[in-house]
Amino acid sequence: MIKKSLLILFLLILSSRSVYAEEYTAEEIIENLYMAKISGKIQDMIIDLEAYGPSLTGQEAKGLMELFFSARLFFALPNKIRTEKTIPAPDAASMMVVTIRDGTMDWAFTSYDKNPVSKKADDHHHSLLLPFNIDNQPQDAFRIYTLVAIETLDDRETFVLSISNEEDPEARLLTVWVDRERFIPLKEEYYLTQGEREIKKTTLYKDVGQLIDGRWMPYRIERYENDKMTLYITYKDILVNQGLDYDLFNPDEYLPLPGD
């Protein structure tokens, strides 16, 4: 009797998964992230945010997080990113640091000098300040998507996607949990090997809100290494598809000047 009940339960699970598999393929789920099929693909974004990390003071308070910087971030497809960071200094005036990535080069400026403090080739890393799959990097073209399960995460039904990519030096096998109704990532996880050490990288997406165009977006991003929080980001305001001027990502046009 027990064996028969288990068999019936197993068949019901298989049946429910096959229904979802017929409803969406893994590729269709990715294509519809952030409700792109209804609200349109995200072409550009402006985000006001704050980023917090482990406190460098008060180490006796375990797990204490403090403000690293506040920022305004500009993004345009496929991978143009400009970040204007204001970094607080306890005993001095706050400093502004502007980084510009145009998909080929990566520049950094401060408000103290019109010349870049660094200039290098863009290494095509995914921005830590953006949610999953907003910026598209060249290595993403080699991703292989597989829908592996339907799971409940924090009372939300999710598609569980496995993403393999032999061309990605960091995340060759990535698992992403996508909210089935709102089509936003709720979690992503992968393992990275550094020497003989294996590190579990986890990102959680929380405080979900609805934008003016109807799509959903997380307003809090938490990043962990081996279950220890290394960074969390809170979005204060989000604007999408504003028709950004690409000169924003041209350092010759938008340089921070001394005293700005």
Structure tokens at 157: 């039904």
pTM: 0.86
pLDDT tens, N- to C-terminus, the chain (260 residues): 444 443 433 443 444 444 444 588 999 999 999 999 999 999 999 999 999 999 876 555 566 899 999 999 999 999 999 999 999 877 767 788 999 999 999 999 987 777 889 999 999 999 999 999 999 999 999 999 999 999 999 999 999 999 999 998 888 899 999 999 999 999 999 998 887 889 999 999 999 999 999 999 999 999 999 999 999 999 999 999 999 999 999 998 766 544 44
Residues with Cβ within 8 Å of 48's Cβ and at least 6 positions away in sequence, in order, are 70, 71, 72, 235, 236, 237, 238
Distance CA(41)–CA(240), nearest Å, equals: 10
Tally the C-alpha atoms within 13 A of residue 146's C-alpha that lie toward its C-beta: 10
DSSP 209-228: EE-TTS-EEEEEEEEEETTE
Position 199 scores a pLDDT of 93
Residues with Cβ within 8 Å of 223's Cβ and at least 6 positions away in sequence, in order, are 128, 201, 202, 203, 229, 230, 231, 232
